[in-house]
Every structure is written in structure tokens, then in C-alpha cells.
Amino acid sequence: MRDVSFYKNKRVFLTGHTGFKGSWLAKILVDAGAVVTGYSLAAPTKPALFALSGIEREMHSVIGDVRDAEHLSHVFHAARPEVVLHLAAQPIVRESYRDPRGTYETNVMGTVNLLECVRQSDTVASFLNVTTDKVYENKEWCWGYRENEPLDGYDPYSNSKSCSELVTHSYAKSFLAEQGVAVSTARAGNVIGGGDFAQDRIVPDCIRAAIAGEMIEVRNPNSTRPYQHVLEPLYAYLMIAARQAAEPTLAGWYNVGPDECDCLTTGDLVDLFCKAWGDGLTWETHMANGPHEANFLKLDCSKIKRVFQWQPTWHIGEAIEKTVAWAKAWQAEEDIAAVMEAQIREFTDHMNQRGE
């Protein structure tokens, strides 16, 4: 998990590189010596981590839409990638209610377009599609979902990612296995960390309120989610993609989430945030008449732990502290690339201490 030397001089095609997770992943890959081509829409927020990190200067960044099959194919085949990491998505539940068609076009046909590129390639050895913990048919039960549970997300975002999973499974069985391409999907829980400026996400909402000196408004304080720092799934993605390239039998579908103790209510998460931020920060429930969102959701990560001996590194308290530290560094106009590098070192040092 901690060793990314596999990626040195590897040609990596990364979709969604201008987003929150994509920017952190691009930073890790570039620092590991990978030759990275990113393909994505322009950064979805202002400010944006992609610009703040300065990573664009160290990779080949292409602004494009995964729905544009012709443009995507041109960029992809020019890059001749060996590893493909698919993060591009419309990732917001509430936005999927506002624009369901656009959500399905991006999350389903975007995946089809990319898989067509992989199918037509003679260089790709490893493909990873990053989906979500919300792909499962949510029965609101108290135990974690396993990889063999039915896929049937409720809202357009969750359902479109379920469809993306099924598309990936079909391409793997119908085409890519016989071409020697190892294919996996990774279903990650809610991620937090420095540089997420999205709307309708609880931690970015907390940061905006804290900087403005306002009380935090919480929509669903009793909803339970698996929260983890953004570096947790990113290193897991890199591990899966690297290991399956060498051992194709490891390819499959993997949950990537925190330990049981880090599945907590939104209210408890905001309590931790307020304590870490200080300054007397508080919150209140703001019940809006919004669309349906799952109330209880967590993952069973036994499979990735058994297959790869993977373990989470930072518990939720540490994840919140690192997120707050990043936000305060940004508020103070510090060097964001240096802040990211320091947090990546802290994370990997912690992994090393644990012997993972």
C-alpha cells in the first residue's frame, strides 16, 4: 500500500484529475515519477485544489468531457497508457436530482467511452473504475454492505454509478479479460480532506461557515456514513491497480472504507470538526425539504483487508485534524503544494510505522 515505486515512469491515464480526489491522486502519481495524462472538465469549483496545488505544470492536463467519445479517444491513444484510473464523474447526489440526464450521460456513457478506448488499446495492462459505496441497494440495515450485495442505487447519482459498475463488469468479461487487461472497481465511502470546495458536502460546508464566522447548518445530523481521509482510498486505488497488473487474478470489486469506529453520524462528525477548529464554532440542525438521501450506510471491507492485507491508516479524529490544518493553511495563504506534500509524507510515514 505504501510503496508507489511501481508507478515510476509508468504512463498513467487519469480521468477526473481536476477534481478534489483527482488533484490529490495526480499529485501522488507525479511525485512517484509517473508520466500522467489527465482528462477532465475544468475544475468544478472556484477556488479549486487543482489550481492551488500547481500540479498542472507537472503533468499533461487535457480539458475534455468523457461524453465526447471522439476527443477522449484521440487524447487516450496519443497517451498510450499502461494504467487507467477512472475518477471522472458527476459526484453530487443533490445535483443528480437537478440534472439526472447529465448525470447518467457522464457516469454511464462516460465510462462506456473510456472502456471503448481501453478495448481498442494495445498498451493498457490495468484499469480501475472508482465508483461509490452508494451503488448498493440500501436497505438501511445496521451492518456493512459486502461486494456480493445487489447493486441498485436509489437516487440518479447512486444508480448511475451502479450502472457504471455493471458496464465495467460486462467489458471485463466480454472483452478485456481475453486481452490481458486486469479490471477492478473500487467502492469508496465518503472522503474528507483539504481542498474539497464542493457544494452540498458537509465538511466543505463546515469550512465555509467557520471561515465566515457563522454557525454551521446541518441537514441530516442523524445520518450515518463511513468517513475517511481522502488519502485512504487513493493509496488503496494505487495498490489495487499496481497489484492486479502483476497478478490479474486479484482483479475484482472492492469496498474501500474506514473501520467500524469511523462510521458515525453527521452530527458527531460536525462535533469533531467544531472541536478541531476551535473559536467557539457551533452548529444547528437545518431541516430542509430536500430530495431523498440515504439515512444509514456503511461498508464491510473484509475483502480488501484479506486479499491485500490493507488497513486504514488515519482514524476520523486524525482525518478531521488534517482537514482543518489544510483549511487554515489555505486561509493563511500558505504554499498549498508544500502542505499537500507534508500531509502525504505524514500519511505514508504512519503507514510505514504500522508496517503495511
pLDDT tens digits for 305-338?
999 999 999 999 999 999 999 999 999 999 999 9
Report the share of the chain in percent with pLDDT over 70: 96
Bigger pLDDT: 295 or 34? 34
Domain boundaries, the chain: 5-354
The region of weakest confidence among 71-75, 219-223, 235-239, 241-245 is 219-223
The region of weakest confidence among 56-65, 77-86, 195-204, 229-238 is 195-204
Q: What number is the average pLDDT over the span 205-232? A: 94
The domain over range 5-354 is classified in CATH as 3.10.20.30: no
Name the band, by pLDDT with cuts 50, 70 and 90, for residue 296: confident
Bigger pLDDT: 261 or 7? 7
pLDDT tens digits for 5-40?
999 999 999 999 999 999 999 999 999 999 999 999
SS3 letters for the chain?
Answer: CCCCHHHCCCEEEEECCCCHHHHHHHHHHHHCCCEEEEEECCCCCCCCHHHHHCHHHHCEEEECCCCCHHHHHHHHHHHCCCEEEECCCCCCHHHHHHCHHHHHHHHHHHHHHHHHHHHCCCCCCEEEEECCHHHECCCCCCCCECCCCCECCCCHHHHHHHHHHHHHHHHHHHHHCCCCCEEEEEEECEEECCCCCCCCCHHHHHHHHHHHCCCEEECCCCCEEEEEECHHHHHHHHHHHHHHHHCHHHCCEEEECCCHHHEEEHHHHHHHHHHHHCCCCCEEECCCCCCCCCCECCECCHHHHHHHCCCCCCCHHHHHHHHHHHHHHHHCCCCHHHHHHHHHHHHHHHHHHHCC
The region of weakest confidence among 67-81, 211-225, 227-241, 316-330 is 211-225
Quote the pLDDT of residue 294.
Answer: 59
Quote the pLDDT of residue 355.
Answer: 57
